[in-house]
Amino acid sequence: METLINIYEWIARILDAASLLPNFNTPLGIFCAIAWVGTLISAIMFIVAFIADMGGGELDAGAVDGDMGAFSVQAVMGFILGFGWGGYLTVAGGAGVGLGIFVGLLVGIIMFFIIAGIMKAIYSLKVDGSLKYESLVGMTGTVYVTIPPHGEPGGQVQVSHPSQLVTMAAVQDGDEPLPAQTRIEVVAATTYQLTVRPVSNVTSSQK
C-alpha cells in the first residue's frame, strides 16, 4: 500500500511540475481536467474494445456507430479530447481564456468530424465485407476440389459472390462424384458448408 502511495505522489509531482495536474481553481487546470477525462475514457474504451475483439465479441459502441451515424460515442470523446487539449495548450502558451475556449471548440469540432468519418468508414466496410451465406443460394460456381457422392465431406467449390470470390466446403446428394471445374448451383448454405448440384441437372430438369 505504501508503495502505491509513493508511486501516486511521484506521478503527481511530475504532472504538477509539467502543469498537467487537473486544478479546478484555474482556467488552465480546468482545461487540463477536461483533457484528462477525455484521455482516460478513450483509453478505457480502447482497452474494452481490444478485449472484446480478442474474445470474439463485439462492443456495443459498434452498434451505436451504425445506429447514430456521425454522432457516435467515439466522435463525442474526440470532441472532448480536442477541446480539452486544444484549450489547455492555448492557455498554457500564454493566451487568454476566451481564445483558449475558441481554439478548444475549433479543435474539438475538427476531431469530432475526423473520428466520425473514420468510424463511418469502418462501419461501412464491416457491413459491405460481411457475407450472408444464405445469399449464396441460387448462385452458380465451379467445383474446386472433387465433391464425393451421397453427402460425403471433402469437396470444395468456388462461387463468385458480388462482394468476393468465396471458396467453401461443399457436399452433394448425387450418386456420382463431381470432378473439378464442374459447373454447380448452390441449393443450400450454412456458415461452414454449401450443398450443391451440377448445373446440367438443373437445366435438364427444367426442360
167 vs 46 pLDDT, higher one: 167
**Is residue 153 pLDDT above 70, yes or no?**
yes
Residue 111's alpha-carbon distances to 75, 76, 78, in angstroms, are 7, 9, 5
User: Which phi and psi angles does 145 have, rounded to 5°?
Assistant: -125, 135
Q: How far, rounded to the nearest angstrom, does the alpha carbon of residue 113 sit from its chain's CA centroid?
A: 17
The predicted model scores a pTM of: 0.47
23 vs 196 pLDDT, higher one: 196
Query: How much is the mean pLDDT over the chain?
Result: 75
pLDDT bucket at 62, cuts 50 / 70 / 90? very low
pLDDT bucket at 206, cuts 50 / 70 / 90? very low
